[in-house]
Structure 1
Amino acid sequence: MSTKDYLEKDYYKVLGVSKSASQDEIKSAYRKLARANHPDANKGDEQAEERFKEISEAYSVLSDEKRRKEYDDARSLFGGSYRPGGGTGAGGFDLGDLFGGAGGGTGAPGGGERLSDLFGGLFGGRGRAASSRRGADVETETTLTFNEAAEGVTRTFALSSEAACPTCKGSGARPGSAPKVCPKCAGTGHESKNLGGFSLSEPCSECKGRGLVTDDPCPTCSGSGRGKSTRKIQARIPAGVSDGQRIKIAGKGAPGENGGPAGDLYVVVHVQKHPVFGKSGENLTITVPVTYPEAVLGADIRVPTLNGMPVTVKIPPGTPSGRTLRVRGKGSRRRDGTLGDLLVTVEVQVPQSIGPEAREALEKYRAATSDQDPRRGLEARAKGA
């Protein structure tokens, strides 16, 4: 990508967010657009594919605080309008301002350093274009059962991205021939442009930054050395993930260019509900019904666990409905391999119908406890509120 392309592309507009958008807003906009324009969801739609590339490129810059600041500084420096010829004009950039006055040279204190620092950050080196580029980040989704999310699972993902052309193996030359060092840039992949007082490096216009050219280009990739690749990778989803969590798997995104590192893979996890168990942080939850006598008198009850081996839980006498008891080490697996706890919430069950003997016993119990009014003082407290 040329300097002009970089500076004139409005990444905020691509993602549909304001320049003051937070990282959460940027991430939300990216996820929504990436899902709608993903190549897997738009088979054969080249326009959606190009749109997906633009979205990924914009997110790779704006999601990185350092790169975002450099991008904002560059656009502010040139007023959003970069002109290789330099000079001033309506909406243009006065090179003299950079060096403290019209006609100032690179000898002005700090001037050359500031510009070099700025473009060094943007293009991978102090004042020169980088010949390698990091691969784009890739986002996908997967759905796990509750048990898989609790214990962790390895999943296979089919990803579509750019990679080395399968015909020429990335050389850009027709099989049987070989590329040669670009004579214009001597293989560096960049060339200097005079901007009226200082020079700025850009990707070489002859080799497009590759450092190589060929007299007999590959018929598959037209000499670019790049092609579409569908690959399958295996990735481990760690234990204890929650519904909606976004997992980063480093180095599993799109391959880099010219020896650059691969991007990262982001997996959005959806977790199916379990008919019995729930999740609270690193712990599992379960609601267990008990009878009224068990709650009043106490009892030892059997409670299921996620691994299928029930545990015995002691219900203390006088346990109220809604009380939660903790069973240590019987929850789901944490990322460090240890087990969380099982939180057992007691729910006292009231029978819908009872027999004559049970009714008689309850009537006697009510008579014996008639002096125990659980609502005593409630109305007075309500009036005093």
Structure 2
Amino acid sequence: MTTEVDYYEVLGCARDADGATLKSSYRKLAMQYHPDKNGGCKDHEAKFKAISEAYEVLKDPQKRAAYDRYGHAAFRNGGAGGAGGHADFSGFSDIFESVFGEFMGGQRGGRQPRRGADLRYDLEISLEEAFHGKATEITVDVSAACDTCDGSGAKPGTMARACSTCGGAGKVRAQQGFFVVERTCPTCMGAGEIIADPCGTCRGDGRVDKTKTLSVNVPPGVDEGTRIRLTGEGEAGPRGAPAGDLYIFLHVARHPVFQREGTTLHARAPISFATAALGGEFSIAGPDGETHTVRIAPGTQSGREIRQRGAGMPVLQGRGRGDMVIHVDVQVPTRLSARQRELLEALREAEGEAAEEDPGFFSKMKAAFGG
């Protein structure tokens, strides 16, 4: 009688683990027990097969739901625990492909190249750098092709041979009742070939961890979340397969003066009561390095927007610039000198005389309420 081990226990995860946790645990265990890294140890090979089978089921939402409900019975005898469901007889897909090539553009198939994984790098820039653009260098840690074996995984002077189990196809077929199930070859793990004498540097994987310094050109006008793609600078594919890409996600740091909305720049400008009443002007330095003059018309009210045409951010990969919008905030003084109080009292007195000549607001209020 065969003992059926719980898939969650195989991966060392709780039953409510999310997909990212399952994948992370699988990846660590798969790399630890891969036969190529353990001298063909039978125990490790069996462990690797169990890990691969568990992850193949739990990574698929439908398979996982069936397993959570019916256990291993969900995949036996053409039914989901005899409850009228159906088993998935499509077979196990290439396990290593799901780890190293699923992000973007991974390929299936026996000896087809399995593209390396795409990588992400987050780069923070200032608003001024987003305006003018920037040429910079970044340092990333990646899996790169092994220089010793040129990424083949085989010891220099030797070559890989076709897998005798699958004949180089990378997959084997088995009859299950009326169905033919295609599975990843358990001997070569889908590679289609066997490395009898692996490279001593990369241990047959064809890749080693490296630190790379890359040049990045940030164009003018980029915004938060803009992506820059560096083709072929992601993880190298296993055994000479094409490398993935590196995606650089840009983040624009908060500016002390401006808030950005597309190509429009917004700024709050506090002005004095006297300036708002009499008019005036002030200067503001933009991210373009220029000094912009903002003119305040007499009688400007708090909350008014003053638009400076063409003083905003440049259009990404286009022509022209957005606008700069100044939001006026009239400041009411909270502490007055004796002279200021004297002047304001005189102003209030003058306003009172004007009110007698023009009944205005308060007279209309009295009339409205029968006063």
Q: With structure 1 as the length reference, what TM-score do the two structures score?
A: 0.63
Give the aligned partner of residue 275 of structure 1.
Answer: 256
Query: Partners in 2 of 1:373 and 1:253 — Cα distance?
Result: 76
Using a 3 Å threshold, how does the CA distance of structure 1 residues 216 and 318 change in structure 2: closer, same or farther? same
Aligned-pair distance for 1:220?
1.6
Give the aligned partner of residue 178 of structure 2.
Answer: 197
2:229 is equivalent to residue 249 of structure 1: yes
Equivalent residue for 2:61, pick from 72, 84, 109: 72
- Tell me the secondary structure at the aligned position of residue 91 of structure 1: helix
Give the aligned partner of residue 348 of structure 1.
Answer: 330
* Structure 2 residues not aligned, in runs of 5+: 1-6, 33-55, 99-105, 367-371
| Conservation of the 8 A alpha-carbon contact between 2:124 and 2:251 | yes
Using a 3 Å threshold, how does the CA distance of structure 1 residues 213 and 117 change in structure 2: closer, same or farther? closer
Using a 3 Å threshold, how does the CA distance of structure 1 residues 340 and 267 change in structure 2: closer, same or farther? same
Aligned runs of 1:1-385 on 2, under 5 Å?
50=28, 71-76=60-65, 79=67, 91-97=73-79, 115-116=89-90, 131-237=112-218, 239-242=221-224, 245=225, 247=227, 249=229, 251=231, 252-257=233-238, 262-267=243-248, 269-337=250-318, 338-350=320-332, 352-354=335-337, 356=339, 359-370=341-352, 371=355
Aligned length in residues: 316
Query: Partners in 1 of 2:175 and 2:91 — Cα distance?
Result: 18
- Tell me the secondary structure at the aligned position of residue 369 of structure 1: helix
* Structure 1 residues not aligned, in runs of 5+: 1-6, 20-25, 35-46, 55-66, 82-87, 103-110, 381-385
Q: Which amino acid aligns with 1:249?
A: R
| Conservation of the 8 A alpha-carbon contact between 2:89 and 2:181 | no
Q: Which amino acid aligns with 2:28?
A: E
Aligned-pair distance for 1:246?
7.2
Query: Partners in 1 of 2:14 and 2:307 — Cα distance?
Result: 50
Aligned-pair distance for 1:265?
3.6
Give the aligned partner of residue 23 of structure 1.
Answer: none
Using a 3 Å threshold, how does the CA distance of structure 1 residues 305 and 355 change in structure 2: closer, same or farther? farther
Query: Partners in 1 of 2:337 and 2:124 — Cα distance?
Result: 45
Query: Partners in 2 of 1:272 and 1:254 — Cα distance?
Result: 29
Cα displacement string for residues 119-169 of structure 1 (whole angstroms, at most 9, x for unaligned residues): 69x98889x657443433423333322312344434433222323222111
| Conservation of the 8 A alpha-carbon contact between 2:115 and 2:242 | yes
Aligned-pair distance for 1:344?
0.8
Q: Which is greater in Rg? A: 2
Aligned-pair distance for 1:315?
1.9
Query: Partners in 2 of 1:9 and 1:133 — Cα distance?
Result: 29
Query: Partners in 2 of 1:368 and 1:299 — Cα distance?
Result: 22
Aligned-pair distance for 1:266?
4.6
CA RMSD of aligned residues (A): 5.0
